[in-house]
Amino acid sequence: MKPETLKKRLDKNRPMTTITVRIPADVIEDLKRVAPLLGFSGHQSLARTYIGQGLRSDLELLENDAVLALIASLKRHGVTDEVIQEALVDVAQR
């Protein structure tokens, strides 16, 4: 991640947006149970942390110039977006 982007991400006063996400009740209960054990004030802050970690991991992968060049080349050679997306998911899960 670029230093200026990281600096913005670490700003505690950046704007927030409210969203609605359907999450299974048992997952929410687990978040509520685990959050205080990990030092979080509540389950929502823990969920935001998990989302942020996954997003940063994916952004790191996708912002790599070599990966972007490879994706562009694959598209020029007729590889579908669906196949490329499946491959990116495979790589991210390793």
Between the alpha carbon of residue 92 and those of residues 45, 63, 66, 78, the distances in Å are: 24, 13, 15, 23
Model-level pTM greater than 0.75? no
Cα angle 66, 70, 76; round to 5: 145
Give pLDDT tens digits for 3-26: 777 677 777 788 889 999 999 999
- Residue 87 CA to residue 79 CA, distance in Å, equals 11
Displacement of CA 56 from its chain's centroid (Å): 5
Give pLDDT tens digits for 83-94: 998 988 888 777
Give pLDDT tens digits for 24-65: 999 999 999 999 999 999 999 999 999 989 988 888 877 777
- Joined together, the tokens standing for residue 59 give 């952004």
Encoded amino acid at 33, one letter: R
